[in-house]
Amino acid sequence: MFDTDLDAVVPMLCVTLAALFSMGAEAFRGKGERMPIGWLGILGLAGAGITSGLLWNRNAESFGVIVADNFGLFITVTLVIVGILTIMFSSQVVQRDGLPKGEYYALVLFSIVGMIMMATANDLLVIFVALEILSLAVYVLTGIRRDSAKGIEAAFKYFLLGAFSSAFFLYGIAFTYGVTGSTRLPAVGAYLSAQSLTENPMTLIALGLLLVGFAFKISAVPFHMWTPDAYEGAPTIVTGFMSTGVKAAAFAAFVRVFLSSFEPYIAEWAPVVAVLAALTMILGTVVGVAQSNLKRMLAYSSIAHGGYLLVGLVAANAVGKAAILFYLLAYSVTNLAAFGVIALLGSRDQPNDELRDYRGLWHSHPALAALMTVCLLSLGGIPLTAGFIGKWAVFGAAVSAGYYTLAIIGVLTSVISVFFYLRVVVMMYMSEREGAEIPAPVNAVGMVALTISIVGIFYLGLLPAAVLDFAAESIATIF
């Protein structure tokens, strides 16, 4: 690669071009003609992954607002994995549900562009622009099934709450600029390091407003209201995509802003985030136990996992910072695979997302039942899986930092969460279908995606040392 001002945006450019080609391919596709539009997206995402590897350790910067440091590149690779798996799972779903191919794949790719921009942005205004790019695409994806009243309602609710969240975030940027005279994160951090809070209490207002904006995107309590409805109403594979990609991008920006620029005031914001983490873990777990719809259950599970990630943010030590990156990768692969199973088992008229729909799945689809079991055990934090290592790292960081109460709450909620994950396993293996319709077979591409996910879950669970070290080296570049 050439040493130019454009180097840092090359991964984004690869995905953007793939999105544009996807739209073009749809426009020029003849009636009834099939085109491999999804593979265009995979090609663009692969290009983003390769160029991220070429940019490693270079700390390339574009226009002073996009920085391809190792931290941003780690998140970019995670998002590439999420994107490729999403497109592979979608190959059967898009055809089966009659979704507009070009629009669907283009929206997925454009949202990934926003996610990558959010992870690598070095300026608060650019983070806001990235947030809007990914949000607008995800709003449309949530309601892309125009014949689904539930999907349209979910998209509308998500849009309204997202608009309020964006307003809070933008006001936070405005107050930050008013206090520091800049929106560039290094300049903001340098100014705040040289000032005490008593010199300008408006800094607390800026902190609070930015925190609300980020808390909405990561589904932290009490800003989680959109999550269950949006997750249930959206097409299942879209639900899996936004539960992983949006969370990874939001946490990347959250970490960059709060553990870098606003780190001088950690004594002020850490207790607030600790309370948010505790409430998020408790609500996500307790309410999740009461759900009979699998998508709503996984929605509350996603809320709880956001709380576990907040524990790493509060700990703010070397172990906690690395644990955040590892956890995001482990959670993304696991949760996307779980939603992938639900999506592949559904049909256009029957989503098969109720708990009762999984009765006796072992007898009709033994491979899918086994794969779903692995995903659920990983989400529950059972040993030998990626989820166990992620939780172990996060709770260990909390103990090292002296947050014993948070660690105890995390362990207890993890134990409780195993109950609702095991309910699904029991339903699959120990119940009969009782005459229910047998789901259609899964295509080869979907099975390959599931196999890749399961291999990733076991690799991260059995041989985590290399990835943990990789994560620690990556996040060290922003401090």
Q: pLDDT tens across 35-74, in order?
A: 678 889 999 999 999 999 999 988 888 888 999 999 999 9
- Sign of the alpha-carbon dihedral angle for 102, 108, 109, 111: positive
Residue 450: pLDDT over 60: yes
pLDDT value at residue 247: 93
How many CB atoms neighbour CB 443 within 10 A?
16
Residue 33: pLDDT over 70: no
259: Cα within 13 Å, side-chain hemisphere: 25
Rounded CA-CA distance 34/94 in Å is 12
Tokens of 290: 């009461």
Rounded CA-CA distance 366/352 in Å is 16
Give residue for tokens 């996910």.
Answer: 453
Yes or no: say if 420 and 297 are a contact pair by the CB < 8 Å rule: yes
Residue 441: pLDDT over 80: no
pLDDT value at residue 355: 83
- 222 prior amide bond cis, ω within 30: yes
Phi and psi angles of residue 2, each rounded to the nearest 5 degrees, phi first: -85, 150
In this predicted model, what pLDDT tens digit does every residue of 174-197 receive, in sequence order?
999 999 999 999 999 999 888 776
pLDDT value at residue 71: 94
Q: What is the mean pLDDT of residues 422-426?
A: 90
- Sign of the alpha-carbon dihedral angle for 40, 331, 257, 177: positive
Contacts with 243 (C-beta within 8 Å, 6 or more apart), sequence order: 231, 298, 299, 302, 335, 336, 339
Rounded CA-CA distance 120/51 in Å is 14
pLDDT value at residue 433: 65
Rounded CA-CA distance 112/78 in Å is 11
Phi and psi angles of residue 61, each rounded to the nearest 5 degrees, phi first: -135, 135
In this predicted model, what pLDDT tens digit does every residue of 297-349 receive, in sequence order?
999 999 999 999 999 999 988 888 899 999 999 999 999 999 999 988 877 77
Helices 70-97, 247-256: axis angle to 10 degrees equals 160
Q: What is the mean pLDDT of residues 6-13?
A: 91
Q: Which is nearest to 75 in space by CA: 32, 127, 128, 116?
A: 116
Rounded CA-CA distance 118/134 in Å is 9
Tokens of 112: 């990934």
pLDDT value at residue 232: 87
Q: What is the mean pLDDT of residues 138-167?
A: 88
pLDDT value at residue 112: 96
pLDDT value at residue 197: 63
Q: Which of 24-28, 118-122, 132-136, 462-466 has the lowest mean pLDDT?
A: 24-28
Mean pLDDT, rounded, of the chain: 89
Rounded CA-CA distance 85/456 in Å is 12
Rounded CA-CA distance 477/66 in Å is 14
Buried b (16+ CB within 10 A) or exposed e, 297-307: bbbbbbbbbbb
Tokens of 305: 């996992």
Q: Model confidence at 280, in pLDDT bands (50, 70, 90)?
A: very high
Contacts with 263 (C-beta within 8 Å, 6 or more apart), sequence order: 189, 316, 479
Q: What is the mean pLDDT of residues 399-424?
A: 92
Rounded CA-CA distance 360/185 in Å is 53
DSSP label at residue 195: S
Rounded CA-CA distance 473/479 in Å is 11
Tokens of 174: 């405005």
Rounded CA-CA distance 464/125 in Å is 36
Q: Which of 160-174, 232-246, 365-379, 434-448 has the lowest mean pLDDT?
A: 434-448
Rounded CA-CA distance 328/352 in Å is 27
Q: Which is nearest to 355 in space by CA: 431, 242, 446?
A: 431
